[in-house]
Amino acid sequence: MQGANTAAIVSTIAACVSAIMTIAAGEFAYMTRRSYTRGLAHDMRSEHDKLVIRLSPRFWRCIHSAYNDFREEHPHLPSDINDLVRSACAPPGLTRASDPIDYLPSNATPRQKAMWEFAALIYPQSTRGNRPELESRSIISKLEASEFIDARSSLGGFWDKWVTQLGPKRVSKVQVYRGQAILIILLTYLDITHRQWTGERNKGKGDMYRLAYLLKDYT
């Protein structure tokens, strides 16, 4: 009888120790993930301050110049493209899984259609895959085309990389990134027309698309 009691006590102690170890392992894993995520967030902010702040003026200078030309044919649109982006918001019907090549702005508002048309003039499908031809026929001036294309690619790559790693919801909660809402929405339109220009399938920046929707109230 005593042996049975002893065995029961030992079994209980072993179960308690196992439970404690499981809890401790879970806490350790949680703290490890939290520390890792904080490290990523720090790295994102550091790269943001070095890359995005450096490239944004170059990107916007080219965009504003091209938009002024675009408005000559569309004088009813806002004089400032920021106002057009605010009223258009992200492309309609776009999901994280959307393949940009097949995307069309169905059920788009007039402002969304204008945004789409502007983006498609930057990356005309008629020049598909031919960068010299693109630089000659894009609404971005030929003198600025190469500079603009490289800046857009770097900015889009930045948001794609970090939003994929940290998640759209987490990034959307950071105030400094909310301040980039208009840029991110515009980059979303441009990423789609760029992918349609390259003809590459399954190459969309799905998490950046999701971020554009989450930031619509911060434009």
Show pLDDT as tens, one digit a residue, over the chain (219 residues).
Answer: 555 566 666 566 666 656 566 565 555 444 445 556 788 999 999 999 999 889 999 999 999 999 999 999 999 999 999 999 999 999 998 877 788 888 888 889 999 999 999 999 999 999 999 999 999 999 999 999 999 999 999 999 999 999 999 999 999 999 999 999 999 999 999 999 999 999 988 777 889 999 999 998 888
Residue 173 lies in a domain: yes
Residue 32 lies in a domain: no
pTM of the model: 0.82
Q: How many domains is the chain built from? A: 1
**Is the CB of residue 207 less than 8 Å from the CB of residue 167?**
yes
Residue 28 lies in a domain: no
Residue 76 lies in a domain: yes
Q: How far apart are CA 102 and CA 196, in angstroms?
A: 8
Residue 4 lies in a domain: no
The parent domain of residue 186 ranges over 43-218
CA distances from 122 to 9, 66, 67, 154, 186 (A): 76, 8, 10, 16, 12
Residue 15 lies in a domain: no
Closest by alpha carbon to 129, among 178, 186, 194, 210? 194
The pLDDT value given to residue 213: 92
Residue 189 lies in a domain: yes
At residue 93, the 3 state secondary structure works out as coil
Residue 78 lies in a domain: yes
